C-alpha cells in the first residue's frame, strides 16, 4: 500500500477498518496499517487520551514506518493480542511488533502502563522514520521533552508522566521527538513507552529484557486462548473475537466496555458520534452467554460480579450504562477543539444515554445471572436478593414507555423488545426459583401473573396481524431487527410461526445485500444515514441455524465474516455499498454476535448429525 498523502503533503486519516487493537485489559491502543499509534487513553479506557490522531490530525501520534514507499501485511501472533506489521520496500523487509506487556506485577518493579514497540529487520535493509508526538488531555496539552539519560526521555503534565526508553537515538523538535533509522536483517530496536499517574515513574528496560516481556506476553495470551473450548469450523474467527472481547475487559472490575474509542462516526458528516468507552447493560445477556459457552468462567464470574455490585448505587433501578467502576456521572461534554474523524464533529466525551430509561436492562442482567447459574456457578445471598429486587421493579414499571435497546432519542415509546425483555426478566427469575437457586416466596404468584400479563400484551399489541410480524412498538408498523433476538432468550422458538414470519418481514424490509439495518433509515430522527448493523446481521444467522437451515446460516455467516478487516476486527456498523467499517472500533457487541451465531451453528450441526 503506497502511503496516502493529501494535496498539502500531510497524511490522510486511515480508514476505520485500517486499525488494529492492542491492550492490557485496562486500556487499549489503536495502531494503523502504516504503523501509527493514533489512539490511546491513559491510564484506563475512559481516561483522557495521550494520542488521538484518530479524531484530529494534530491530537497526538507515535508512528514508525519506512521512509520509502511500502506495502503492508499484518497479522496477530497466533492466539494472542500481539500485532505484527510487516513493511515491504524495494530495498528490504522490516517487521513492527506492537504489544502491551502482560505481567503478574509480582517480584518486579514495572510501569503502571506500558506500550512496547519492537522493530526488526527481516531481509535487506529498510530506512525508517519515527515520530513521537504525545498530546495529553485529548490533544490540548503539548508537553515539552526532557532527556533524563542517553536513552530515556520524559514529558507530561499535571499528575501524568510519560517515559520513553529506546535504543534508537531521538532528536527533540520541540513538540515532537523524531529519528531516522537504517535497519538491516537481524537487527532489533525497541521503544518502551511507560506511563504513571500520581506516582514515581518506572522505566521499563529495552533490549533483551524487552524481548523477554514480549515472549512472556505471547505465552500469556496463548495460555489464555487454550481455555476457549469452541472447536467448530469457525474456531479461528471465534477465538479472535474472544481475544477482542478480552481486550475490552477491564480486569480491575470485570466490566466490559462497548468499544475503546469515542466519536468514531456511524455516518461520515452526520451527528452520530458517540462515546462508547463505557459498559452497557443491554449487552449483558449475550455477553455472558458468549463467555460461559466458550469456557471463560473466570471472566464470566468477574462480569456478573461487576453487573450486580457496580450497579448498587442505583439499585433496584438500573441505568442503561455505567463506567468501568460503576459510576454514572457520564453526561456529555463536547471536545470542540478536536475536528473529529474526517471532520465529522462533534467529538463527545461522556454519553447522554445515561439519562434514558431502558427497561430491557433488567432482563439482560437477570438473564446473565441465569446463564451463569445454569453453567453450575453459584449465586450468593446478596446477589439473589438483588435479582429479586430487579423483578419488583419490572412488576412496577413494565407498562412504561422507554428509550429501547437502540437508545432512540426523543419521547419514550412502548418498544416491543423492551416488553419482551421484561417478560424474560420474570421468566428467568421463576426458573431460578424452580431450581432452588433463589427463593421468591410470596412473590412467585405475582411474578407469574405479571409475566402472563406481559406476554398477553406482546401477543395482542406487539404482533401486527396485517403485517404478519412482531413490530418495533406496540400497535406499530415499523420493523426492528432486535426482535430476532427473542429466540435467544426463550420468548419464542425460532420455528414458531410468528417468529418465522417476523424473520421474513425483517429480511424484506431491513436487508441490504446480506446485511441488516437495525431499523428503517430515518426511524430514529437523527441526521445522516447510518450503516448496516453488524450485531443484528449475526442475529439473522443464528435464527436460520436454530431453524435447522444450517447451510444457509453458514453461507450468511461466511459472507458477514468477509467484512472483518485484515486482522479479524469489526466495527459497530458496515457501509453496505463499500463494505467500510463505521462507528467506534472495534465493537465488543458485534464480536459477541459473531460468537453467539457461531455457537448456534455448531449446536445445529450436532443436532443434524444425531
pLDDT digits (tens, 9 = 90+) for 70-120: 999 999 999 999 999 999 999 999 999 999 998 765 556 778 899 999 999
Give the mean model confidence (pLDDT) for residues 344-354: 95
Using one digit for the tens of pLDDT, what is the confidence trace for 559-590?
999 999 999 999 999 999 999 999 999 999 99
Per cent of the chain over pLDDT 90 is 86
CA dihedral (228, 230, 234, 235) in degrees, to 10, reads 30
527 pLDDT more than 90: no
**Cis, bond preceding 43 (omega within 30 deg of 0):** yes
- Residue-by-residue DSSP string for 483-528: GGGGGTTTSS-TTSHHHHHHHHHHHHHHEETTEE-SB-TTTT--SS
Are the C-beta atoms of residues 54 and 264 closer than 8 Å to each other?
A: yes
CA dihedral (60, 64, 65, 67) positive or negative: positive
Give the mean model confidence (pLDDT) for residues 326-336: 93
Q: Which of 1-10, 213-222, 471-480 is least confident?
A: 1-10
Are the C-beta atoms of residues 161 and 196 closer than 8 Å to each other?
A: yes
Question: Residue 110 has what pLDDT?
Answer: 79
Give the separation between CA 576 and CA 344, rounded to whole angstroms.
20
Residue linked to cell 446463564 = 371
More reliable by pLDDT, 159 or 187: 187
Give the separation between CA 318 and CA 298, rounded to whole angstroms.
24
Question: Residue 10 has what pLDDT?
Answer: 44
Task: Count other Cβ atoms within 10 Å, centred on residue 528.
Answer: 15
Give the mean model confidence (pLDDT) for residues 29-39: 97
Three-state secondary-structure class, residue 416: helix
Are the C-beta atoms of residues 43 and 136 closer than 8 Å to each other?
A: no
Are the C-beta atoms of residues 64 and 119 closer than 8 Å to each other?
A: yes
Question: Residue 106 has what pLDDT?
Answer: 58
Are the C-beta atoms of residues 515 and 576 closer than 8 Å to each other?
A: yes
Question: Residue 1 has what pLDDT?
Answer: 36
Question: Residue 4 has what pLDDT?
Answer: 45
550 pLDDT more than 70: yes
Question: Residue 105 has what pLDDT?
Answer: 59
Burial class (CB in 10 A: 0-12, 13-18, 19+), 382: exposed
Give the separation between CA 372 and CA 383, rounded to whole angstroms.
12
Are the C-beta atoms of residues 509 and 483 closer than 8 Å to each other?
A: no
- When pLDDT is cut at 50, 70 and 90, the band that residue 178 belongs to is very high
454-476 core/surface letters (b: 16 or more CB in 10 A; e: else): bbebbeebbbbeebebbbbbbeb
Question: Residue 608 has what pLDDT?
Answer: 86
Question: Residue 108 has what pLDDT?
Answer: 66
Q: Which of 130-144, 197-211, 509-523 is least confident?
A: 197-211
Question: pTM for this structure?
Answer: 0.95
Name the phi and psi angles at 292, rounded to 5.
-70, -45
Alpha carbon distance, N-terminus to C-terminus of the chain: 49
The mean pLDDT of the chain is: 93
- Residue-by-residue DSSP string for 296-347: -HHHHHHHHHHHHHTTGGGTTS--SEE-TTS------EE-TTS--GGG-PPP
Give the mean model confidence (pLDDT) for residues 229-237: 96
Give the separation between CA 590 and CA 569, rounded to whole angstroms.
9
With CA atoms as reference, report the closest residue to 268 among 515, 530, 20. 530
CA dihedral (444, 446, 449, 451) positive or negative: negative
Amino acid at each position: 500500500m503506497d502511503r496516502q498523502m493529501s494535496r498539502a503533503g500531510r497524511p490522510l486519516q486511515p480508514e476505520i477498518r485500517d486499525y488494529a487493537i492492542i491492550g492490557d485489559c485496562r486500556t487499549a491502543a489503536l495502531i494503523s496499517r502504516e504503523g501509527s499509534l493514533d489512539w490511546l487513553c491513559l491510564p484506563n479506557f475512559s481516561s483522557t487520551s495521550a494520542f488521538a490522531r484518530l479524531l484530529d490530525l494534530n491530537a497526538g501520534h507515535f508512528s514508525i514506518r519506512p521512509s520509502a514507499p511500502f506495502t503492508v501485511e499484518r497479522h496477530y501472533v497466533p492466539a494472542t493480542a500481539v500485532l505484527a506489521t510487516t513493511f515491504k520496500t524495494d530495498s528490504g523487509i522490516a517487521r513492527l511488533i506492537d504489544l502491551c506487556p502482560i505481567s503478574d506485577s509480582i517480584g518486579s518493579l514495572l510501569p503502571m502502563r506500558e506500550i512496547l514497540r519492537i522493530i526488526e529487520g527481516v531481509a535487506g535493509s529498510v530506512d525508517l522514520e519515527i515520530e513521537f508526538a504525545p498530546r495529553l488531555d485529548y490533544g490540548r496539552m503539548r508537553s515539552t521533552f526532557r532527556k533524563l539519560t542517553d536513552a530515556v526521555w520524559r514529558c507530561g503534565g499535571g499528575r501524568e508522566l510519560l517515559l520513553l526508553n529506546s535504543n534508537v537515538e531521538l532528536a527533540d523538535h520541540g513538540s515532537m521527538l523524531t529519528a531516522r533509522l537504517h535497519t538491516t536483517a537481524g537487527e532489533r530496536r525497541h521503544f518502551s513507552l511507560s506511563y504513571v499517574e500520581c506516582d514515581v515513574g518506572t522505566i521499563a528496560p529495552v533490549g533483551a529484557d524487552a524481548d523477554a516481556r514480549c515472549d512472556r506476553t505471547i505465552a500469556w495470551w496463548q495460555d489464555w486462548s487454550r481455555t476457549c473450548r469452541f472447536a467448530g469450523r469457525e474456531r479461528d474467527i471465534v477465538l479472535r473475537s474472544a481475544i477482542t472481547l478480552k481486550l475490552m475487559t477491564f480486569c480491575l472490575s470485570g466490566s466490559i466496555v462497548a468499544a475503546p474509542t469515542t466519536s468514531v462516526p456511524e455516518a461520515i458528516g452526520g451527528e452520530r458520534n458517540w462515546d462508547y468507552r463505557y459498559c452497557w447493560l443491554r449487552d449483558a445477556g449475550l455477553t455472558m452467554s458468549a463467555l460461559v459457552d466458550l469456557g471463560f468462567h473466570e471472566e464470566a464470574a468477574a462480569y456478573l460480579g461487576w453487573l450486580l455490585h457496580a450497579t448498587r448505587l442505583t439499585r433496584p433501578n438500573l441505568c442503561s450504562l455505567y463506567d468501568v467502576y460503576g459510576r454514572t456521572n457520564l453526561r456529555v461534554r463536547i471536545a470542540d477543539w478536536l475536528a473529529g474523524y474526517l471532520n465529522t464533529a462533534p467529538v463527545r466525551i461522556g454519553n447522554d444515554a445515561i439519562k434514558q430509561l431502558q427497561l430491557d436492562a433488567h432482563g439482560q442482567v437477570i438473564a446473565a445471572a441465569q446463564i451463569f447459574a445454569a453453567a453450575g456457578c453459584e449465586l450468593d445471598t446478596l446477589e439473589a436478593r438483588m435479582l429479586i429486587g430487579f423483578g419488583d421493579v419490572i412488576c412496577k414499571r413494565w407498562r412504561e414507555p422507554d428509550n429501547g435497546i437502540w437508545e432512540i432519542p426523543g419521547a419514550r415509546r412502548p418498544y416491543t423488545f423492551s416488553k419482551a425483555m421484561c417478560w424474560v426478566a420474570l421468566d428467568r427469575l421463576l426458573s431460578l426459583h424452580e431450581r432452588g437457586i433463589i427463593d421468591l416466596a410470596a412473590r412467585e404468584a405475582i411474578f407469574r401473573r405479571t409475566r402472563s400479563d406481559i406476554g398477553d400484551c406482546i401477543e395482542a399489541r406487539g404482533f401486527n396481524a396485517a403485517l404478519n410480524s412482531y413490530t418495533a412498538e406496540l400497535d406499530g408498523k415499523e420493523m426492528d431487527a432486535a426482535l430476532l433476538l427473542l429466540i435467544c432468550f426463550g420468548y419464542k422458538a425460532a420455528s414458531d410461526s410468528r417468529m418465522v414470519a417476523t424473520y421474513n418481514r425483517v429480511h424484506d424490509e431491513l436487508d441490504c445485500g446480506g446485511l441488516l439495518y437495525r431499523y428503517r433509515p430515518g426511524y430514529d430522527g437523527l441526521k445522516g444515514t447510518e450503516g448496516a448493523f453488524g450485531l443484528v446481521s449475526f442475529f439473522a444467522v443464528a435464527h436460520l441455524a436454530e431453524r435447522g437451515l444450517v447451510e444457509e446460516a453458514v453461507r450468511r455467516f461466511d459472507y458477514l465474516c468477509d467484512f472483518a478487516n485484515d486482522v479479524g476486527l469489526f466495527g459497530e456498523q458496515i457501509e453496505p455499498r463499500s463494505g467500510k467499517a463505521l462507528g467506534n472500533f472495534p465493537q465488543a457487541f458485534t464480536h459477541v454476535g459473531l460468537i453467539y451465531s457461531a455457537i448456534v451453528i455448531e449446536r445445529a450441526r450436532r443436532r443434524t448429525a444425531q
